[in-house]
């Protein structure tokens, strides 16, 4: 498959991740309705948003995994490169496609959300943040550590699930459920990123604090991803090659 077609797949895959995951947070996490005439919260909450992010990756893994590898995430691309699973020459085109897809997904989400008179970007638009912009007001250090560790394990799952020795055909399930679990842990801390493209899309529209804090959601996930890729390649794949 040509690099151009693989990048197009990454664009649409990342669009789907941001539109579906962030869309669930913006449009459905908290939804006031009524049951039997009584006011009720019909929103999907943290659990629903976590599942939405996991499902976007699971569905795209089966849809474009055979085309581009379904990275959808600059940290994944760099982590796979560190693990010897991806060519470094293709890193910049992949990351460019992912960031553009994330911005496009955020734009469509913004168009839809702004059709409600009560919508305001002041609500955060599913942006990631630390300190006063952390959902649980966690410190910058706490948020940095969370993003490094959670991205590390996400890439560890990806490397293990896609290892040639692993059962064939089940990697998307493990990766999708892994991302769901990671969100269940991390949403209260940073609104959960583990993906610089996912963080960039909403931040472009929120501006201000979201752009000022965006550095953490590039640096921390990349550090965690590269560490996981390097560890898996050095410890586990190296051991396998000696058998």
Share of the chain above pLDDT 90, in %: 91
Q: What is the pLDDT of residue 41?
A: 79
* Tokens matching residue 22: 């962030």
pLDDT at 239 over 90: no
> Which residues, in sequence order, are bridge partners of residue 39?
34
- What are the pLDDT digits (tens) for 57-74? 999 999 999 999 999 999
Question: Which 3 state secondary structure label does DSSP give 207?
Answer: coil
Q: Are 18 and 197 in contact (CB under 8 A)?
A: yes
Average of per-residue pLDDT values in the chain:
95
Between 242 and 228, where is the model more confident? 228
- What are the pLDDT digits (tens) for 10-49? 999 999 999 999 999 999 998 877 666 777 778 999 999 9
Instruction: Report d(CA 53, CA 138) in Å as an integer.
Output: 22
Instruction: Report d(CA 220, CA 226) in Å as an integer.
Output: 10
- Interval 201-209 mean pLDDT: 98
pLDDT at 161 over 90: yes
Q: What is the dihedral of CA 198, 53, 63, 79, to 10 degrees?
A: 50
Instruction: Report d(CA 121, CA 112) in Å as an integer.
Output: 13
- What are the pLDDT digits (tens) for 163-198? 999 998 999 999 999 999 999 999 999 999 999 999
> Which residues, in sequence order, are bridge partners of residue 38?
35
Domains of the chain, CATH where assigned: 3-241 (1.20.1080.10)
Which H helix or E strand runs over 37?
A: none
Residue with tokens 């040639």: 164
Q: What is the pLDDT of residue 31?
A: 84
Q: What is the pLDDT of residue 6?
A: 98
- What are the pLDDT digits (tens) for 80-139? 999 999 999 999 999 999 999 999 999 999 999 999 999 999 999 999 999 999 999 999
> pLDDT class for 54, splitting at 50, 70, 90?
very high
Instruction: Report d(CA 188, CA 184) in Å as an integer.
Output: 8
Q: What is the pLDDT of residue 243?
A: 45
Tell me the CA distances in angstroms from 179 to 80, 110, 212, 237, one per residue in order.
16, 24, 26, 23
Q: What is the pLDDT of residue 237?
A: 85
pLDDT at 242 over 70: no
Task: Answer whether 0.85 is exceeded by the pTM.
Answer: yes
């Amino acid at each position: 498959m040509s690099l151009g077609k693989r990048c197009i797949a990454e664009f649409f895959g990342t669009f789907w991740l941001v539109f579906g995951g962030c869309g669930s947070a913006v449009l459905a996490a908290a939804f006031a309705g009524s049951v039997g005439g009584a006011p009720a919260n019909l929103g999907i909450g943290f659990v629903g948003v976590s599942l939405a992010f996991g499902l976007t990756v699971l569905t795209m893994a089966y849809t474009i995994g055979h085309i581009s590898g379904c990275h959808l995430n600059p940290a994944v691309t760099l982590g796979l490169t560190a693990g010897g699973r991806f060519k470094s020459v293709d890193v910049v085109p992949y990351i460019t496609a992912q960031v553009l897809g994330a911005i496009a997904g955020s734009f469509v989400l913004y168009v839809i959300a702004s059709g409600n008179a009560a919508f305001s970007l002041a609500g955060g638009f599913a942006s990631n943040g630390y300190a006063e912009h952390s959902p649980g007001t966690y410190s910058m250090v706490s948020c940095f550590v969370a993003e490094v560790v959670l991205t590390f394990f996400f890439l560890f799952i990806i490397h293990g699930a896609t290892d040639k020795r692993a059962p064939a055909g089940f990697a998307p399930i493990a990766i999708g459920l892994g991302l769901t679990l990671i969100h269940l842990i991390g949403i209260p801390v940073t609104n959960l990123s583990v993906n610089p493209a996912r963080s960039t899309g909403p931040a472009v529209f929120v501006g201000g604090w979201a752009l000022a804090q965006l550095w953490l959601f590039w640096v921390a996930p990349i550090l965690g991803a590269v560490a996981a890729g390097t560890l898996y390649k050095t410890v586990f794949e190296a051991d396998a090659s000696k058998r």
